[in-house]
Amino acid sequence: MSESFTHDVLVIGSGAAGLTAALNLPSDLKVAVLSKTRLDSGSTQWAQGGIAAVLDATDSVEDHVRDTLNAGAGLCHEDSVRQTVSAGSDCIDWLIRQGVAFTRTEDSTYHLTQEGGHSHRRIIHAADATGHAVSQALCQQAREANNVEIFENRVAVDLITHRKLALPGNRCVGAYVLNRDVQHVELFKARFVVLATGGASKAYLYTSNPDGATGDGIAIAWRAGCRVGNMEFNQFHPTCLYHPQAKSFLISEAVRGEGGHLLLPDGSRFMHRFDERAELAPRDIVARAIDHEMKRLGADCLYLDISHKPEEFIRTHFPTIHEQCLSYGIDITRESIPVVPAAHYTCGGILVDEYARTDINQLYAIGEASFTGLHGANRMASNSLLECLVFGRAAAEDIASEVSNVPQPPQVPDWDESQVRDSDEDVVIAHNWDELRHFMWDYVGIVRTTKRLQRAKHRVDMLHSEIREFYSNYRVTNDLLELRNLVTVADLIICAALQRRESRGLHYTLDFPGQLPEAQDTILTPTSFMSKTA
């Protein structure tokens, strides 16, 4: 018999969102925090730039709200933007109290930088490794908190709801979780469950995200009956290093800012054909131009060249990029850097309200897995970590106010493995992973057409049926679970993209290049898809 655990609150995910929720819960509640691998896995650890908040006397909440609304191309929910931005400076104070050492200026105030789309200096940061500093501080606090129990190497498989147990009501009471160390599925019961599983950029061949970004929480919530919103808005970073051994290494936009040229394989520049600002055009225009040229030429990558600048300048301005590229045999002071655009951020996700509550009672979703309405059709840089903090805290406060009304979870059966056996065909999983990420890149990437989306839909439907068969016959593994979730999330992205008959923000289709007069969210409801994706 496999192990079972009971807590007051089960937090699935240990990035900025999950740990913020866990650490803001009342200390008399017993909390479990799950992480797929190590506690500091997830995108949080890799965030470079910083966190946007109104921290300077010359800045204002109104200005931060306006900038966010402008970036979101008419689709941001203004109430959500206002809620997030207003709570910014409180959340930064809280992070400082947790031990995050943000970079200071010579007069000891905090140093603020400015990024694309922001009209003020408002990005607080810890050098160029903000995510690392946030993650390390929060992980340490979580390890020291007496009421928080940490479970690493645990992969949530599916939620347990009253609906699944054939009980009345619409309540979530826990999750089945694969323990990767012993390869057994365990039972985690809880009065409240918080999904904080991050984004889904691994659905694409090239991504800046770490391995676990497979949209698990979104797929899990969808299977349990939650609505999802705006899944068609995937943000692509224009320049990720293209090298067989390099995984997810970003070449900062500052390289273009400091005079770097984007080049075709024949060494010629091309950006001026797409935008008069050439290499300094906004990120989505640059990403689209690179994608267009790669597809036109059938090229595997294009190039970013800064080697015309003095060697000393390059070494002092870009020490990490210089060093990393050198480790792959590329000397950026002498040669150009092979680059491809890479999936970077999932703007859509599980639909939630201002307290991060989903469609199922006692189930919350926070961070990149959620859809709060903050980002609209395009995320503004450094607003995402802020969203993790604001909604992580909102979920904790709502749980604290509700806890006395919520009973202990009911009896739940153990995971049933009696009908399944070990897989002897793991090659099928590996093959399907590759196939999915390739067709998502080619057909559902930066520039879309209806025909390409329909092709992708056809393939994803076939993958669904193969995975369903695999899932019913074989013991679950992490790879199988991730693939199952990726197929579901890919389907949601394709369906949302097919529904949007316009180009807006990050969604660009050659068939509908204009923008409709009225901005509307794409909300998908599980009942209409359930038979296919369950």
Q: Is 508 left (phi over 0), alpha (psi -120 to 50) or beta?
A: beta
Q: Could you give the string, one character per residue 47-86, with x where binding to ligand FAD holds by CB under 6 A and - elsewhere?
A: xxxxx-----------------------------------
Q: Which uninterrupted H or E stretch holds 488?
A: helix 478-499
Question: Which one of residues 12, 218, 286, 394 is an interface residue with ligand FAD (CB under 6 A)?
Answer: 12
CB 116, CB 282: distance < 8 Å: yes
Of 253, 230, 422, which Cα lies nearest the Cα of 345? 230
Q: Are strands 4-12 and 184-195 parallel, antiparallel or unpaired?
A: parallel
Q: Rule CB under 6 A: choose which of 18, 88, 348, 349 binds ligand FAD.
A: 18
Rounded least distance, CB 174 to ligand FAD, Å: 13
Within positions 152 to 191, which residues make up the interface with ligand FAD, using CB under 6 A?
Answer: 154-156
How many other C-beta atoms are found inside a 10 Å radius of the C-beta of residue 449?
13
Q: Counting Cβ atoms within 10 Å, is residue 309 exposed (0-12), middle (13-18) or buried (19+)?
A: middle
Beta-bridge partners for 195: 12, 365
Catalytic pick among 82, 122, 223, 283 = 283
C-alpha–C-alpha distance, residues 364 and 371, integer Å: 11
Residue carrying structure tokens 């390059």: 314
Q: Is 95 in the site for ligand FAD (CB under 6 A)?
A: no
- In whole angstroms, the minimum distance from the beta carbon of 178 to ligand FAD comes to 8
Query: Which residue in 208, 230, 235, 362 binds ligand FAD (CB under 6 A)?
Result: 208
Shorter beta-carbon distance to ligand FAD: residue 345 or 474: 345
Q: How far apart, in whole angstroms, are the C-alpha atoms of residue 20 and residue 399?
A: 13
Site for ligand FAD in 376-405 (CB under 6 A): 382, 384-385, 388
36 binds ligand FAD per the rule CB under 6 A:
yes
Q: Determine if 216 is a binding residue for ligand FAD (CB under 6 A).
A: yes
Q: Which of 72, 88, 117, 198 binds ligand FAD (CB under 6 A)?
A: 198
Q: Does 88 bind ligand FAD (CB under 6 A)?
A: no
Site for ligand FAD in 297-356 (CB under 6 A): 345
**Can you tell me which of 68, 84, 209, 230 binds ligand FAD, judged by CB under 6 A?**
209
- The per-residue DSSP string of 506-522 comes to TB-BTTS-S--SS----
Query: If binding is defined by CB under 6 A, does position 456 make contact with ligand FAD?
Result: no
Residue 34 binds to ligand FAD (criterion: CB under 6 A): yes
DSSP 323-345: HHHHHTT--TTTSPEEEEEEEEE
CB 8 within 8 A of CB 362: no
358 binds ligand FAD (CB under 6 A): no
Our answer to whether residue 283 is catalytic in this structure is yes
Cα within 13 Å of Cα(289), Cβ side: 24
Q: Does 374 bind ligand FAD (CB under 6 A)?
A: no
Where does this chain bind ligand FAD (CB under 6 A)?
12-18, 34-37, 41-44, 46-51, 130-131, 154-156, 196-198, 208-209, 212, 216, 250, 345, 367-369, 382, 384-385, 388
Catalytic residues: 283
